[in-house]
Amino acid sequence: MATDLTWWETAVIYQIYPRSFQDSNGDGIGDLPGITSRLDYVAGLGVDAVWISPFFKSPQKDFGYDVSDYCDIHPEYGTLADFDTLIAKAHSLGLRIMIDIVPAHCSDQHVWFEESRQSRDNDKADWFHWVDPQPDGSAPTNWLSFFGGRAWSWEPRRQQYYLHNFLPSQPNLNHANAAVREAYKDIARFWFDRGVDGFRLDAVHTINADQAPYKDNAANLDFVPGALPQQQQPFFRQLHDSAQLNQPAIQMFSEAFREVADDYGDKFLMGELHGDDPILASQTFTAPGRLHATYNFNLLAWAGLDVNGLKQAISDAVGSFNGTGRLSFAFSNHDVPRSATRQLELLGLGPENIEAMQLLLLQLETCLIGSACIYQGEELACEDVQDIPLDRLQDPWGIEFAPVFLGRDTCRTPMVWSETAPMGGFTTANESWLPTAKSHYSRAGLDETKRDNSVYNQFAAFLKWRKDQPALMHANTMSDVSGGENQIIFDRIYETQTLRCCFDFTTLTATFKEIE
């Protein structure tokens, strides 16, 4: 029976962090031709699409999330011709390509900001958030950045502060300006014209579009510092009245971007968002005429979740979206510790269980409603890497707070492809941009494709089975979550099949049964 769902409503999406996937030219940095050379490996899993993190021209202060030209390739990653070759190869293998657009901010080296910062009366003068100081010269509000410190920096040429929710070199764009929104529509057209199938929209909740006066975030009188740097800032993202995030006027952007996607047909817009009430935010962002789905953070807790926490996270997310494909789930990505490691530690299990744990998480994720995003290395049960020498750290967040907090490099180490090849087959250079993890060599990618019982092959077999299950592929409906203390049980429901899915965190096994 044919499905009425679009491809993205049930898609399994493989995320590639290009700097760490495959180096093709011996400079120690992954690149687009390297990705192209490994697409057969990705297609062999049976995934539906590939999401590639940013590869645009950039000073690389935040490794591509600080864009200086949205319509060209950073030279370390290749050329536009290399991208065209990549997308042609992907499509020939039946893989769709999604790319990572950063709409909230750009690099301070982008021509837009270079012009805007010069004066108060140039053509780009109001493309960013420029605000006069308070009478005593201090910043306009108490807002703090994700990476530590104030979210405002002083520009002497304009005698004003500019807003940045992340690094000072990542100024926030002013999406209240129609010209800014039009510029992003042109960017979307540029990549759709090259054959891109969709966008993952980075940190859309940090877009700023509301106009002055800018308001302080209310203090949380019950604030207790947490383990992560952003949890140690009492004015950061406080309660639901935060003036800094999830502003209502953001939807001018999402609606404009959706208009362009609809002009091109079967394209997918997935927005990454977070905040104090992510479910409400997801409902807002995926209202008719806006984004198709949101990238859901419920399962991405930095320290992992116990089984009851997993149940609650799934129930909270599904509760408002049952019967739709408007959610995309993930256990891992390039910003959090690797999922199998954190779940093993939380549940008190030893490293000998990492393959069983990883396969269980992959199976659970791809049985939930909506789409699922698999981060490179999950199919190999890669451990999180906690032994990176401090002088080799690259992540600005980690560099700022090490050694107490190592940032995001622990999940970004290069892919290992062969246990016996120098540098694990990632590069022919003597050194890679981050060190390859010795713990990953015993489950190297190409080696695992040849091992019958590897996580790679077990997951590939599972995805092949999944495609034949009407309840998983033809509808996005599921029952309430139940199960014992260490179980997660739910039914996936379609008119011709009810499939009971049981995930046991004691035995680390998944079982499936058709219910009459």
How would you class 71 by CB atoms within 10 Å of its CB: exposed for 0-12, middle for 13-18, buried for 19 or more? middle
- Gap between the Cα atoms of 239 and 219, Å rounded: 9
- CA separation for the pair 101, 243 (Å, rounded): 24
Whether 155 sits among the annotated catalytic residues: the reply is no
Which of helix, strand or coil describes residue 49?
Answer: strand
Asked whether 367 and 513 are in contact (CB, 8 A), the reply is: no
Burial class (CB in 10 A: 0-12, 13-18, 19+), 40: exposed
Q: Are 373 and 295 in contact (CB under 8 A)?
A: yes
Q: Is residue 374 a contact partner of residue 328, using CB atoms and an 8 Å limit?
A: no
Contacts of 98 (CB under 8 A, 6+ apart): 13, 49, 50, 51, 52, 196, 197, 198, 199, 200, 268, 270
Q: Which residue is listed with tokens 């202060």?
A: 61
What one-character DSSP code corresponds to residue 334?
T
Task: Find out whether 459 and 446 touch, Cβ atoms under 8 Å.
Answer: no
Catalytic one among 272, 335, 355, 491? 272
Task: Check residue 108 and report its DSSP letter.
Answer: T
Strands 293-295, 268-272: pairing is parallel
Phi, psi of 327 (to 5 degrees): -125, 145
Q: What span, in angstroms and rounded, lies between the C-alpha atoms of 373 and 147?
A: 25
Q: Is 136 known to be catalytic?
A: no
* Set 202, 335, 355, 409: catalytic member: 202
Tokens of 279: 């479910």
State the catalytic residues.
202, 272
